[in-house]
Amino acid sequence: MASNFHTEASRNTEAKGNDTLERDTLLMHASGRPGKIEVVPTKPLATQRDLSLAYSPGVAFPCLHIARDPSLAYDYTAKGNLVAVISNGTAVLGLGDLGALASKPVMEGKAVLFKRFADVDSIDLEVDTRDVDEFIAAVRYLGPSFGGINLEDIKAPECFIIEQRLRELMPIPVFHDDQHGTAIISAAGLINALDLTGRDISTVKVVVNGAGAAGIACIELAKAMGVRHENVVLCDTKGTIYQGRTEGMNQWKSAHAVPTKARTLAEALDGADVFYGLSVKGAVTPEMVAAMAAKPIIFAMANPDPEITPEEVKAVRSDAIVATGRSDYPNQINNVLGFPYIFRGALDVRASTINDAMKIAAARAIAALAREDVPDEVDAAYSGRRLRYGPDYIIPVPFDPRLIASIPPAVAKAAMDSGVARKPIIDMGAYKRELSARLDPASAGMQTITDVVKANPKRVVFAEGEEEKQIRAAVAFANAGLGHPILLGREDRIRETMKNIGLPAAESLDIINSRISPRTKAYTDMLYARLQRRGALYRDVQRLVNQERNIFGSLMVQSGDADAMVTGLTRNYWQAFEEIKKVIDPTPGELMFGMTVFVVKGKLVFVADTTVMETPTPQQLADIAVQTAHKARQMGHEPRVAMISYSNFGNPSSERSDRVREAVGLLDARKVDFVYDGEMAADVALDPELLSHFPFCRLKAPANVLVMPGLYSAHIASKLLQKLGGTSVIGPILVGLSKPVQITSMDASANDIVNMAVLASYDAVR
Ligand SMILES: NC(=O)C1=CN([C@@H]2O[C@H](COP(=O)(O)OP(=O)(O)OC[C@H]3O[C@@H](n4cnc5c(N)ncnc54)[C@H](OP(=O)(O)O)[C@@H]3O)[C@@H](O)[C@H]2O)C=CC1
Ligand SMILES: CC(=O)C(=O)O
Ligand SMILES: [Mg+2]
């Protein structure tokens, strides 16, 4: 556990580290266009006509329509996806009252987080007044502009009055993030920390330090979820808030006053189970922590520095569960996990408000996600730290791509159930798919296929069954209801790995060891019949079946003992391909090749051949075009095929481009049932403007299938795009094999493997 924390050495260099952090941060903010946001138009403004539609005279029409029916503002303007982040800078993080202007970097940051994590457009507004009435007056009339208002870093108790009044005055959700965002995330952390320490929420003793915006809201939500009023002691700069205290009080603090003899934070913490810190750096000492109950739960959430560091806690309490608001320690309890997704859900149902039911639903969704297996992509973003439900991982990490499809649906559903949704969601499944697509278009492209596969579950061999990633993929595949995985390998090893990585055994998961399988003899005979006239002795075949899992797995599929197979982690592509070909033939009359699918801004582009034929003949190029077009159609996309070269329709002419031209001629002769043309350069194929320079071209819209002239260009282009282009990639998908087998790349993540298993299953369904 300790390895995840800062080391002594790194602590000694902390001051130096802070200097570097300061320099880097200032440089980042000042570089290029200063600050962190810009406005990007969503409609073209390239021509006179564009201008007359987007602006005068055309713009009069949406104005008049909205004047007649205000709800149309959601159809004709950005309102429905736009949130204002509004502050007066009176409680900037834990830095105190820095004023409106100095709060702007935080507010721009929040706006960027809205966009990055939930595709909510957001703008920061800093209101330069500390006066409650002036602030309310400045904000209350902004409703028409926005779908929601996110109040930020406004100090207590003013924030309570401001939020309450604006909620009453404005017909859109008004949400003070420091109160409710923080409350939701800490509640999620609490649910899991209580679970891990075997505690009952109705008996835990909680101490909250900080009776401001965050502290009061956190404890109110915790009470709404079952923590008893009499079990909570709230503290502020004056010590505990006990019944009868008069100094430094207000009505919000009074509501949480309890009859306690404790007068200081230290006295309150004696024997306490849970500590919530929402105050300032260093407010808690190791001695206080040492006096807490067994397995104490310590959420030191002050930013940017916590009330006590995890190292300090660990030095005195190795049994503690510790969380902070920072990203460089395990268990980051920070409202970034909440506000983007809560608004996403609220905006999508046009909720009139964000109520307690929606907050509790969000907390439960976040807590539930932390208990699921974490995708590799997420591990990678966290420097390979293994994230697994336990004391060092009670809460999902902000870069978990599953948050977007988990929290907003829960919030939207709670809004609908509690009667505040003005536009209920009819198809929740479709909504979740749409959410995934907002951030990872590849997953949406895969979704329809996934639905088919779920409805027709297949037996899929995971040939490298002792590999951790394959095990995780197989378990995820089974748990997602996608089919029945069969892991090839030694059972004791596989079970051991599953135990080590903390994976619960999936119910429908088989393990087969080729050496002791009763089918080995039959498979050996089957393969010998294929290979005996290709120079193989019976004992060679025996060895192949016993030792080569790709061979054994392929034989399972070939014989019908399994429906599909996925492999590729431990062998390079071509080696795995050779092994599979020993057992499985191509589909009669078809070529075998690789097709890679790129997902660019929600559009799919199919590129082939990216794996097999180095220099295809014109005949082969035509075959690749036909088969790839067929595949694209199977995956729900009407093919528009471009035969790619570096030249356009004979200019310039060369031996290589002539081959592509010849392939186009062959397609003409075959009278194929899809639109194609070429030879053409990739930019012409993809850009309607360039395409229009060739009015005779049969492609009237950009191509979505690119048949490449050779393996060199196909492979290099696809790898460059993958590494530099920021696109999502599926495949390469093996096309033309008579049985459903897919080969992943050796660096595939568990998620990639699941996707390939889904594609193989999809082939098996059809
Ligand atoms: N991790 C997260 O996601 C979030 C963390 N926070 C953190 O919570 C903290 C408070 O923010 P917020 O509620 O917005 O601010 P407020 O200004 O509204 O409240 C601050 C509270 O902290 C109390 N306080 C200050 N110093 C001490 C101290 N030494 N001992 C005990 N109590 C103290 C104040 O007491 P008094 O009333 O006596 O003045 C006040 O009640 C900040 O550090 C902020 O960064 C906030 C939001 C989200
Ligand atoms: C995280 C946050 O909102 C704060 O510390 O104020
Ligand atoms: Mg804040």
Asked if residue 95 belongs to a known ligand binding site, the reply is yes
Following CA atoms 199, 203, 205, 211 in sequence, which dihedral angle do they give, to the nearest 10 degrees?
110
What pLDDT sits at residue 16? 40
335 Cα–ligand 2 center, Å = 7
Mean pLDDT of the chain: 91
Report pLDDT for 447: 66
Beta bridge partners of 122: 83
Q: In this predicted structure, what is the pLDDT of residue 18?
A: 62
The residue to which tokens 């983007």 are assigned: 340
CATH fold group of domain 593-736: Rossmann fold (3.40.50)
Atom of ligand 2 nearest to the CA of 325: 1
Share of the chain above pLDDT 70, in %: 93
Closest-CA residue to 321 (of 279, 283, 274, 281):
274
pLDDT bucket at 8, cuts 50 / 70 / 90 = very low
Nearest-angstrom CA–CA distance, 654 and 666: 18
Mean pLDDT of 584-606: 88
Please, is 563 exposed, middle or buried when counting C-beta atoms within 10 Å of its C-beta (0-12, 13-18, 19+)? buried
Q: How far is the CA of 264 from the centre of ligand 1 (A)?
A: 17
Q: How far is CA 272 from CA 50, 267, 391, 766, in A?
A: 65, 10, 18, 60
Say what the pLDDT of residue 47 is.
84
Residue range(s) of every CATH 3.40.50.10750 domain in the chain:
593-736
CA distances from 513 to 555, 626, 665 (A): 14, 40, 51
Comma-separated ranges of CATH 3.40.50.10950 domains in the chain: 455-565
By C-alpha distance, which of 653, 167, 116, 742 is closest to 446? 742
Interacting residues of 183 by C-beta distance below 8 A, sequence separation 6+:
214, 217, 218, 220, 221, 222, 359
Assigned token pair, 365? 């969704």
- In SS3 terms, 620-644 reads as HHHHHHHHHHHHHHHCCCCCEEEEE
pLDDT value of position 259: 97
Supply the DSSP symbol for 115.
Answer: H
More confident residue, 197 or 727: 197
For the record, the structure tokens of 447 come out as 């979704």
**What pLDDT digit, counting tens, does each position of 30-57 carry?**
988 899 999 988 887 878 888 899 999 9
Greatest C-alpha distance within the chain: 97
Output the pLDDT for position 2.
Answer: 32
Q: How many CB atoms lie within 10 A of CB 469?
A: 19
Fill in the DSSP letter of residue 335: G
pLDDT at residue 383, as a whole number: 52
Which residue type does 298 have? I
The pLDDT value recorded for residue 13 is: 35
State the pLDDT at residue 5. Answer: 34
User: pLDDT digit string (tens) for 526-552?
Assistant: 999 999 999 899 999 999 999 999 999
Mean pLDDT in residue range 55-84 = 97
Residue closest via CA to ligand 2's atom 6 equals 93
Residues of the chain with CATH 3.40.50.720: 180-430
Residue 93 is assigned to a ligand binding site: yes
CB atoms within 10 A of CB 741: 29
- Reply yes or no on whether the pLDDT at 11 is more than 90: no
Residue 189 has pLDDT above 50, yes or no: yes
Q: Which of 1-15, 56-70, 76-90, 227-241 has the lowest mean pLDDT?
A: 1-15
List active site positions: 110
Say how many Å lie between the CA of residue 534 and the centre of ligand 1: 77
The residue whose CA is least distant from atom 5 of ligand 2 is: 93
Q: How many CB atoms lie within 10 A of CB 16?
A: 9
pLDDT average, residue stretch 585-610: 89
- DSSP letter (8 states) at residue 502: T
Angle, helices 356-370/182-196, rounded to nearest 10 degrees:
50
By most ligand atoms within 8 Å of CB, the mutation choice from 93, 103, 218, 278 for ligand 2 is: 93
Query: 468-479 and 750-765 helices cross at what angle (nearest 10)?
Result: 50
Residues 462 and 753: their CA atoms lie apart, in Å, by: 9
User: Across residues 366-385, what is the average pLDDT?
Assistant: 75
Interacting residues of 566 by C-beta distance below 8 A, sequence separation 6+: 460, 461, 462, 463, 470, 473, 741, 742, 743, 744, 753, 756, 757, 760
Pocket test for ligand 1, best of 237, 241, 299, 335 (most atoms within 8 A of CB): 237
Which value, in Å, is the radius of gyration of the alpha carbons in the chain? 30
Q: Is the pLDDT of residue 289 over 90?
A: yes
| Mean pLDDT of the region 701-730 | 89
**Selection from 259, 153, 162, 252 nearest residue 211 by Cα:** 252
Half-sphere exposure of 725 (CA within 13 A, CB side): 14
pLDDT at 273 over 80: yes
Q: Which helix (H) or strand (E) holds 160?
A: helix 158-169
Report CA(340)–ligand 3 centroid distance (Å).
13
Residue 88: the pLDDT is: 98
Does the annotation list 196 as a binding residue? no
Tell me, what's the pLDDT at 658?
93
> Domain 455-565: which topology?
Rossmann fold (3.40.50)
Structure token pair of residue 89: 């800078």
319 is an annotated ligand-binding site residue: no
Nearest-angstrom CA–CA distance, 766 and 764: 6
Atom of ligand 2 nearest to the CA of 302: 5
pLDDT tens for each residue of 510-533: 999 999 999 999 999 999 999 999
Give the span between the Cα atoms of 137 and 555, in whole angstroms. Answer: 74
Averaged pLDDT for residues 664-689? 94
d(CA 550, CA 570): 10
Local structure of residue 402 (DSSP, 8 states): T
The side-by-side arrangement of strands in the sheet containing 321-324 is 239-240, 232-236, 206-209, 274-277, 297-300, 321-324
Residue 163: CB partners within 8 Å, gap ≥ 6? 151, 174, 175, 176, 179
Q: DSSP string spanning 26-55?
A: HHHHHSSSSSS-----SS---SHHHHHHHS
Pocket test for ligand 2, best of 151, 153, 185 (most atoms within 8 A of CB): 153
Model pLDDT, residue 384: 52
Of 457, 182, 473, give the one whose Cα is nearest residue 333. 182
Question: What is the pTM for the complete model shown?
Answer: 0.71
Ligand 2 environment, Cβ below 6 A: 93, 153, 177-178, 303, 325, 334-335
pLDDT, residue 438, reads: 74
Give the residue, by CA position, lying nearest to ligand 2 atom 3. 178
* Ligand 1 shell residues, CB under 6 Å: 91, 93-94, 155-156, 178, 182, 209-215, 235-238, 248, 278-280, 283, 301-303, 325, 333-335
Backbone phi, psi, residue 40, to 5°: -120, 125
Residue 219: strand, helix, or coil: helix
Query: Residue 40: what pLDDT?
Result: 83
pLDDT tens for 613-661 read 999 999 999 999 999 999 988 877 889 999 999 999 999 988 889 999 9
Using the mean position of ligand 2's atoms as its centre, give its distance from the Cα of residue 106 in Å: 9
Asked if residue 153 belongs to a known ligand binding site, the reply is yes
Mean pLDDT across the stretch 269-282? 97
Q: How confident is the model at residue 6 (pLDDT cuts 50, 70, 90)?
A: very low
- The Å distance, Cα 361 to ligand 2 centre, comes to 21
Segment 695-714 mean pLDDT: 94
N-to-C CA span, the chain: 48
Q: What pLDDT does residue 12 have?
A: 36
Which atom of ligand 2 has the smallest separation from the CA of 335? 1
Kindly state which CATH superfamily the domain 180-430 is placed in: NAD(P)-binding Rossmann-like Domain (3.40.50.720)
Q: Give dist(CA 460, CA 271) in Å, integer.
A: 53
